[in-house]
Structure 1
Amino acid sequence: MLAMSTLNFETECREIHGSWGQLNRLARALANRTRHERQQIRETYKSIYGDDLVNRLKDAAAAGISPKLCAALSMWMTEQHERDAVVVREALDDQKGDTNYNALVEIFVGRKSSHILLIKQAYYRRFWRQLDQDIINIEPPNPYQKILVALVASHKAHHEDVSQHIAKADARRLYETGEGSSGPIEEAVVLEILSKRSIPQLKLTFSCYKHIYGHEYTESPKTRNYGELENAMKMVVQCIYNPPDYFAAVLYANMKGCISDEGAVRRVMVSRAEVDMDEIKREFKKKHGMELRDAICDNIPSGDYRDFLVALTVSKSNESA
């Protein structure tokens, strides 16, 4: 088994290099490493061998060597803002020609404004493109794209403090333009609120909505035909208001093949392992009556990739998203 000392990264890197063909050993060791330790291993490996461990994993995946495991390990070894920049680019440049709005929303509502700035910088360094402009230029324009443009603006207008007064006022506006009216949701009002409020402020707004009206914003008791904007808002609000519930639903739906979002399980497991994995596991068991690790074992073929995902279900030291 690979050395687990947090002090002697050089010894561990030599063991990694010497047992490169045994990726299962590498996966078991790295799954238990903190973000700081992983970066130390990556830097030490490069200083010894002049080669980036992440690039080696990507090359192995491209060559067909345990591609799913190598892709997951390379994500796990990459700094979060760099990883997010790649996920965003892949979401915008989907090989099937469809923008992956789920992946984009997860990042824009699940990251602090300071982190979004790092993502934009990494995106430009890597792809020589402006992230904001690429979001604006999504074709054809649709409710998800408009909401994403609003969320981009919300990060620019970020304020650390949240206001109960503003949250209550916004909740009432959302009610009056939604289930409190006989017509469809007023798009302009919704987009204005999304663009002018920080994510913490929006979370408080949806909490106030439940307190005032007795149910979630996405759970209107009225029978109505939801349009594209309502459906998009339902997904966005769930991701903002209750991330563990949202991610538990994403994992279940993808493992059961209910929706097609290639890479979603890997993306969620890697990105949330150090954020709220315990909460996701609780929500998963509450909603689906089984442990997340058992669902992974039941729905993903046996092998090193499955073992790595199972290892990620073990709580890591929580870090800010």
Structure 2
Amino acid sequence: MSHREPTVVGVPNFNAAEDAATLRAAMKGFGTDEQVIIDILTSRSNQQRQAIAQVFTHEYGRDLIEDLKSELGGHFEDVIVALMRPAEEYLCKELHHCMEGMGTDEETLVEILCTRTKPEIAAIVDAYEMMYDRPLAEHMCSETSGDFRRLLTLIVTSAHKGARDEEAGVDAERAREAAQALYDAGEAKWGTDEEVFNKILAHESFAQLRQIFEEYKNISGRTIEQAIKAEIDGELKDALSAIVECVESAPAWFASRLRRAMQGLGTNDRTLIRIVVSRSEIDLGAIKREYERLYDKTLESEIRGETSGDYKRALVALLGPA
């Protein structure tokens, strides 16, 4: 059940030197040609963008991100700069930002850490320590608390082992045992043992969890979602629910997160940009479909209604053809 459906796949006859020259020309002299920047950077894959940046420095002795920042502004700049960073570095910057300053943005922690596969988390963990010279787990421990902190810490500390397990495939017998353990820790007893939920949902691969949730339904007669909503509350409930929903369908979870970012007073632009950029090479095509199925509106029409100018043009370009 793979939902890999990118909207950005890169261009076949890629020429980094040509793109670098076109971008340099678009930023030189009077005024900037924003459309050229949009056309190139929203259609190249992240790997291709990194190659362009390398050539740019090599040819012109300049930093492409710095040049873009000095020419662009507002949310448009945010989109373009996000596109230019290697995927895991961009997510590390977002994690760092949501933990810095006053209060922590728990929703963003959940969005980044509870919805990604073990190999993706492992890459984030490595990049974070390299960029900030402190382990992600340690930074998170200082910014969160209780069962929520324990869950996130388990996710981050078990990522490398989990990435190795992922190759092993699904173990049906172990799935049954885990499902029984979840049942015993929740519905079957007075009060819930969050520790068991945390351990299983943080350690197992998405494929293994899918099997565990099937078994859980057989044992309990209700879904693991129903159990979590009934037994657990607060931030931990949101975090565990995100894992469960992403195991069932990550595109549906991201569609609902986008919906929340655009509903109500003002748009949460940071979330909107992060999801569109970070899922564009994974499953944004599927997210678009889910969005329309769930809300009876196209994601493109909603984004057009919430944004304007070059910012709008860049996001819509990343959404790919309607």
Q: Same fold (TM over 0.5)?
A: yes
1:129 aligned onto 2:140: no
Deviation at 1:165, TM superposition (A): 1.6
Q: Which moved more, 1:172-181 or 1:155-164?
A: 172-181
Distance 1:208 1:307, change over 3 A: farther
Question: Tell me, which stretches of 5 or more residues in structure 1 are unaligned?
Answer: 316-321
The verdict on how the C-alpha distance between 1:219 and 1:24 changes in structure 2, with shifts beyond 3 A counting, is farther
Letter in 2 for 1:103: T
Q: Which residue of 2 aligns with 1:23?
A: 34
Moved over 4 A (4+): 210-215, 258-262
Distance 1:286 1:227 in 2: 28
Which residue of structure 2 lines up, in the alignment, with residue 308 of structure 1? 314
Distance 2:312 2:266 in 1: 20
Q: Deviations over 1:261-312 (max 9, x none)?
A: 55111000001011011211111111100111111112x2321111111111
1:221 Cα deviation after fit: 11
1:188/1:9 CA distance change after superposition, 3 Å: closer
The amino acid of 2:270's aligned partner reads G
Q: How do 1:62-211 residues align onto structure 2 when only pairs under 5 Å count?
A: 65-93=72-100, 95=101, 97-139=102-144, 141-158=145-162, 159-160=165-166, 161=168, 162-181=170-189, 183-210=190-217
For residue 227 of structure 1, the aligned residue among 225, 229, 233 is 233
1:85 and 1:284, CA in 2 relative to 1: closer, same or farther beyond 3 A?
A: same
Distance 1:150 1:9, change over 3 A: closer
Q: What TM-score comes out, normalization by structure 2 length?
A: 0.83
Whether 1:50 and 2:44 are equivalent positions in the alignment is: no
**Kindly tell me: are residues 34 and 195 of structure 1, through their superposed partners in 2, closer, same or farther at Cα, counting changes over 3 Å?**
closer
> CA 1:214–1:292 in 2, change beyond 3 Å: closer, same or farther?
farther
Deviation per CA, 1:165-220, whole angstroms, max 9, x where unpaired?
22222222223322344x44211211222344334323432343346555531134
CA distance in 1, matches of 2:293, 2:95: 31
Q: Which moved more, 1:121-130 or 1:42-51?
A: 121-130
Greater relative contact order (Cα < 8 A, sep 6+):
2
8 Å Cα contact 2:288/2:298 also seen in 1: yes
Residue 17 and residue 210 in structure 1: after superposition, are their counterparts in 2 closer, same or farther (change >3 A)?
Answer: farther
Contact 1:54 1:77 in 2 (8 A): yes
Instruction: State the alpha-carbon separation in 1 of the partners of residues 267 and 247 from structure 2.
Output: 22
Is contact 2:14-2:48 (8 Å) kept?
A: no
Q: Give 1:136 shift.
A: 2.4
Give the residue type in structure 1 aligned to 2:304.
C
Give me the TM-score of the superposition, normalised by structure 1: 0.83
Q: Tell me, what secondary structure is at the counterpart of 1:99?
A: coil
Q: CA RMSD, aligned part only?
A: 2.7
Quote the Cα distance in structure 1 between the aligned partners of 2:46 and 2:99.
27
Greater CA deviation, 141-150 or 111-120?
111-120
Give structure 2 stretches of 5+ with no counterpart.
1-10
Equivalent pair of 2:151/2:199 in contact (CA under 8 Å): no
Q: Is the 8 A contact 1:143 1:232 kept in 2?
A: no
Once structures 1 and 2 are overlaid, which stretch shifts more, 225-234 or 127-136? 225-234
AA matched with 1:137: S
Aligned residues between the structures: 302
Measure, in 2, the Cα distance between the counterparts of 1:14 and 1:129.
38
Which structure shows the bigger proportion of residues in helix conformation? 2
Amino acid at match of 2:295: H
1:108 CA displacement? 2.9
Compare 273-282 and 259-268 and name the one that shifted more: 259-268
For 2:319, give the aligned amino acid. T
CA contact (8 A) 2:228 2:240 kept: no
Identity of aligned residues (%): 26
What's 1:251 paired with?
258
